[in-house]
Chain A
Amino acid sequence: MTDSAARPDDGRTDHGPPVVEAVDITKRYGSTLALDSAGIMIRPGETHALVGRNGAGKSTLVGILTGLQEPDGGRVAFDGHPAPPLADRDAWRRRVACVYQKSTVIPTLSVAENLFLNRHARGRDRLIRWRTVRREAERLLREWSVDADVDQPAGTLTVEERQFVEIARALSFGARFIILDEPTAQLDAGGIGRLFARIRDLQQQGVTFLFISHHLQEIYEICDTVTVFRDARHIRTAAVADVTPAELVAAMTGEEAGAGPSTDRPAPAGDAPELLTVDGLVTAAGAEASFRVRAGEVVGLAGGGGSGKVDVAETIVGLRRPWAGAVRLAGRVLRPGSVRDALDAGIGLVPQDRHRQGLVPMLSVAENITMTVPGKLRRRGFVAPARRDAFAGRSIADLGIKTTGPGQPVSGLSGGNQQKVVMGRALASDPKLLVLITPTAGVDVRSKQNLLAVVDRVSAAGTGVLIVSDELDDLRGCDRVLVMFAGRVVREMSRGWRDADLVAAMEGVQAEHV
């Protein structure tokens, strides 16, 4: 069953024609080939995974399957019939819907209005009947068991609620094929569990899914079939049960990859000096933490969404003002709530949301990397561009950032490379302590390995590292992992923990006491 042909397999039509079939799709943007005779075939009722590194052509395929972009060549068919013309949005919406990572609701309008946008219930006088709209919205959400108040502005929905509302909206158009574009990227473990439960429910009601994710374990959990794209081409389609994670990674990267980041980094010397001291810290939101990080040590701070881990980290680096407690770095007490002081003391930060806090998208790679260290570039009071570009050039080489040069705007880079730029910025000041908050969110497998390799390298040079994440892969290389739950550090695990134990601790389940 492992057909590794260059095109989607034929035959094996078990139950009727495929929900969607795209054959020989070619699409170019200017000089770049986004899809090169690629295709996919999705059968009714299955949950089909689409994987590939950033730039493999996944988003382009989604654009073509949802009728937002016209392929330059090839054909798309739904249920065996050719796709409707691009201008007929209603026809497309009856066949397929996509829940994007980016919100497609209108934040200022109510949930009810979002569900029935541009098709409100109207009376004979053509005026909108709000009561009917609200009632229909409530019925729709109840029908698909989505629990949300239809009167609240859609902007106040959580990511998870928003996705459910968007799925319900798609179903209400009659679409029974739904594309989920990295739906788990912004969810915590509990939210992912609920999303998967919902997917399974809907699957039983005859809904077909195309599931796009960077997380291979999610594919093994929820999907039946997986298709791999690489460099704008279809590489392989296979039943999930028939392919190992290593084979998947190999198909995605085009080479045999090691089994994740190395975990054989030597532990820091026992007499390494204490670097970061967090004493009785209480954040403004009420999370508490006390811990230490020694020079060269890599410490993980794990926990689900709402556990307070990000809160604690952002308080340490001065993004938030603490309620009580003190943070010391190499003996120096950091001024509470001052990022400037934290940077001066020697903290390098990769913030949680690179788009909002990490990058200035219009500025060049070089300007972004050197943003925190103008002092190193100054000549007679002015920033020297040559010096800046040389500095950035070293970062680009060190981190393997794929860019046309230090002058390229960051907005033109892929997600993984943008995150490398953020990492470069954090490292630019030669920090004593590196604080990484969800450093590999929305980053492809290869870039993830690169980023985690940087952690190994800088810790070997004596830098302390604090990794704040709920990604097991991020935490695997840590010397110790502190697990937070409901605002408290509930467990400390040393290297070699079992996945199940860590997940259980993050979920607040009391594992057997040691």
Chain B
Amino acid sequence: MSDTLVSTGAPAPTDRPTARRRMPALARLRDLVLVPAIVVIAVVGQLVNPVFLQSDNLINILQSMSAIAILVLAETLVLVTGKMDLSLESTFGLAPGVAAWLVVDPAITHGLGVDLLAGAWGVPVTLLVGALVGAFNGLLIVRYGLNGFIVTLGMLIVLRGLLTGISGGSTFFGLPPSMSYLGSASWVGVPVSIWLCLVAFAVAVVVLGFTAGGRALYAIGGNVDAARAAGIRTDRILFLTLVTASVLAALAGLIQAGRLASIPSGQGDGAIFQVFAAAVIGGVSLNGGKGSMVGAFTGVLLLFMIVNVLTLAGVPAQWTNFLNGAVILVALVLSRITGGKAQE
């Protein structure tokens, strides 16, 4: 449809439309646009406080972001297909919360919990709750064709309310060892949650880049009709994506619970904004079909590094929210400038 002027030198009707020959292989480097920003923050951090680049602090950053990073991974899967899942932040709290409610002994915890199952059930129940939430989202969005944004917004509120209801608004503690293992144990001096997070991203990179199922996510997000015409079972893949994302959110919630050795009824409250911001800063399109796991990972990393630098600089905690929001806006502006294209 474009009818912009092309300045052809000679009248040559046989001239082929060789508009953009040879896109540079730089396109692949788009995944790494945030690396310069990360380097800059690292340098600034080091100047602010020499502790910054010490391994303890780096592990601290990675550990504090691991739960949210897995949430970002989950959201990225959904965003690539062109959908949204706002309810992930509530699943993040509800899934381990339900597990805790079922296994915790009320005798120890002032009447919280029902002590219905043995402690070993904590992890499977957490993941099962995640899968059920995802399946319900999928049922409404894929099977009945409801609007994903509104459905998951409703789910966000319902699930949050459910957690508040079963916990009576207070915090679960006294978790069985199986539930706190992932968030508290270490392997070779590095917390398990960091290993888990890195492995999850590595697997996601391979799945999205090199498997038929992963490419199908991009195809669906880019043009669902074309994907269907190419024989991709779009509904099924969308459903599975929503389930996977919710299970990952449950897993992330488990890590968070283990790290804090408790589950407050507000676990994950408000996290979805940070998750979206990290994904968008990392180059994931809200319109679907575009974005990479490497980009998403650099997005979360950048956000958490900035927060860490601010903490080291001694910024009072009361200003954290303001600065968090400001950081997101600045990071968006920066990635708009470096990415060069309007974010959709």
Contact = CB atoms under 8 A, between A and B. Distances in A.
> Are A and B genuine complex partners?
yes
13 contacts: A105-B226, A106-B219, A106-B223, A120-B215, A128-B212, A149-B23, A152-B20, A153-B27, A156-B23, A193-B13, A286-B7, A306-B6, A309-B3
B4 to A, nearest CB: 6
A109 to B, nearest CB: 6
B21 interface: yes
Interface residues of B, number: 43
Nearest to A508: B11
A109 B219 contact: yes
A89 B231 contact: yes
- Say whether chain B's binding surface is mostly helix, strand, loop, or mixed: loop
Nearest to B218: A109
A84 to B, nearest CB: 13
B289 A147 contact: no
Contacts of A190: 13, 15
Given A120-B215, A127-B206, A352-B3, A508 B13 contact: yes
A353 interface: yes
B11 A509 contact: yes
A4 interface: no
A283 B225 contact: no
Interface string A172-199: 0000000000000010111101100000
Contacts of A508: 11, 13
Contacts of A90: 231
Interface size class of A (residues with CB under 8 A): 35 or more
Contact of A107 (B17, B20, B23, B289): B289
Nearest to B21: A149
Contacts of B229: 68, 89, 104
Given A108-B222, A158-B19, A507-B11, A287 B212 contact: no
- Say whether chain A's binding surface is mostly helix, strand, loop, or mixed: loop
A221 to B, nearest CB: 16
Interface of B: 1, 3-8, 11, 13-23, 25, 27, 206, 209-212, 215-216, 218-219, 221-223, 225-227, 229-232, 285, 289-290
A411 B229 CA distance: 24
A272 B199 CA distance: 79
A156 B19 contact: yes
Nearest to A93: B231
Interface in A261-315: 283, 285-287, 305-311
A492 interface: no
A122 interface: yes
A508 B330 CA distance: 50
B221 to A, nearest CB: 7
A118 B20 contact: no
Contact of B3 (A68, A104, A161, A306): A306
Q: Among the interface residues A118, A191, A311, which one has the most CB atoms of the partner chain B within 10 A?
A: A118
B231 A118 contact: yes
Contacts of A353: 1
Nearest to A320: B4
B10 to A, nearest CB: 8
A117 B227 contact: yes
A124 interface: no
A306 B289 contact: no
A151 to B, nearest CB: 6
Contacts of A93: 231
B8 A486 contact: yes
Given A89-B231, A127-B210, A128-B211, A311 B4 contact: yes
Contact of B223 (A107, A188, A194, A509): A107
Contact of A105 (B6, B209, B223): B223
A158 B16 CA distance: 11
Q: Among the interface residues A106, A160, A306, A352, which one has the most CB atoms of the partner chain B within 10 A?
A: A106
A18 to B, nearest CB: 25
Given A106-B218, A106-B289, A486-B11, A147 B16 contact: yes
Contacts of A307: 5
Contact of A487 (B5, B22, B218, B285): B5
A285 B212 contact: no
Contacts of A389: none
A186 B17 contact: no
Contact of A149 (B6, B22, B230, B231): B22
Given A151-B23, A507-B11, A508-B11, A186 B1 contact: yes
